[in-house]
Amino acid sequence: MNFDGININNELKSRIESAAAAGKLPHAVILEGGSENDRLNLARLLAKAQVCSGESIPCCSCNDCIKAEKGIHPDIFQALAQEGSTEPLKVDAIRDIRANAFVYPNEAQRRVFILHNMQFANEQAQNALLKILEEPPEFVRFILTAPVSSVMLTTILSRAAVFSLGQQLGDTLNAKHTQACEKAAAIAKALISPNEFDLMTETGIFEKDAELLVLVLAQLRLIFRDAIARKQSQAATLLSSSQDNAVLLSRSCTVPQLMALMQAVDALEKAENQNANKALLITRFCSMMRKAVNK
């Protein structure tokens, strides 16, 4: 496979190459990290591999590869929300994709949908996408990209393989992401701390930083999801950035408590979307979380 023009680590490279050689590229892939170009170029390379009809995949010489290379393959669809664009990936665009996904491929064995910059897809659009990810036609493949996969709903994350291109230094979004991961880990820890003030101490910052709250809620959702998954199976694949704390939570909480924590995250996200009063929101955050774990 030719990864020219893509900054990609050797581990991910060989993972992709062996999956492609075995004909086992995942049905849905999320590409995160790296630069925007790295993600888009890798998405296009994977799409080419999915439609290639040659021997070694992608062969770069079959008709499918040639058309994919030129960007004119009829079975590769690209929904590209440009970075900095005010036009998000709208729910209508996703509905079009859904309608399109049930049409048989024109030339290749598969139809590939590239959804670039999923951070611009709001919850409504992501839920629309989820409907097809749940029961996709056999011939459909999805390649989603985002700076960080945590911008996507857990329900989407749980149905896709995440390929991480690694952190980009100097990227403010990644700095914020790291801060959110650390904060979510601290909150998860505070939830099982015997000191009830720990939670209040950790959440004070949200009053001044609503953007951080949104990112932290997304991280907490992953941690709670992991804790539930771990309760169900020791072998569960964990997705969150704070797997240690997810395991601790799974040990000290019941499944209904963890579900209540998930519901608290949903309710708070909704309230945040509706521009609720920040101070009240934080009080609510603490009380909902405490109530979920019976504190």
Please give the residue ranges that form the binding site for Zn ion (CB under 5 A).
Answer: 52, 54, 58-59, 62, 65
Closest approach of Cβ 56 to Zn ion, in Å? 8
Could you tell me the smallest distance in angstroms from the CB atom of residue 48 to Zn ion?
7
**Helical packing angle, 210-232 and 243-252, nearest 10°:** 60
Which residue, 23 or 170, has its beta carbon nearer to Zn ion?
23
Our CB check for Zn ion shows the closer of 92 and 107 to be 107
Strands 161-164 and 28-32 turn out to be parallel
3-class SS at 80? strand
Q: Are strands 28-32 and 140-146 parallel, antiparallel or unpaired?
A: parallel
Provide, rounded to whole angstroms, the least separation between the CB of residue 49 and Zn ion. 8
- Give 31 or 47: the residue with its C-beta nearer to Zn ion: 47
Tell me how crowded residue 21 is: count the other CB atoms within 10 A of its CB.
13
Q: How far is the CB of 68 from Zn ion (least distance, A)?
A: 8
Residue with smaller CB distance to Zn ion, 65 or 79: 65
Nearer Cβ to Zn ion, position 20 or 115?
20
What tokens appear for 153 in the block? 């709903």
Number of neighbours of residue 36 by Cβ within 10 angstroms: 16
CA 146 to chain centre: 7
DSSP state of 277: -
Using an 8 Å Cβ cutoff, are 18 and 30 in contact?
Answer: no
Contacts of residue 273, Cβ cutoff 8 Å, sequence gap at least 6:
123
| Closer to Zn ion by Cβ: residue 1 or 212 | 1
The string over 259-280, giving b where at least 16 C-beta atoms fall within 10 Å of a residue's C-beta and e elsewhere, is ebbbebbeebbebbeeeeeeee
Q: How far is the CB of 38 from Zn ion (least distance, A)?
A: 22
What is the nearest approach in angstroms of Zn ion to the Cβ of residue 41? 17
Secondary structure of residue 205 in the 3-state scheme: helix
CB 89 within 8 A of CB 113: no
Q: H or E segment at 79?
A: strand 76-80
| Cβ nearer to Zn ion, comparing 59 with 271 | 59
CB of 64 to Zn ion, least distance (A): 5
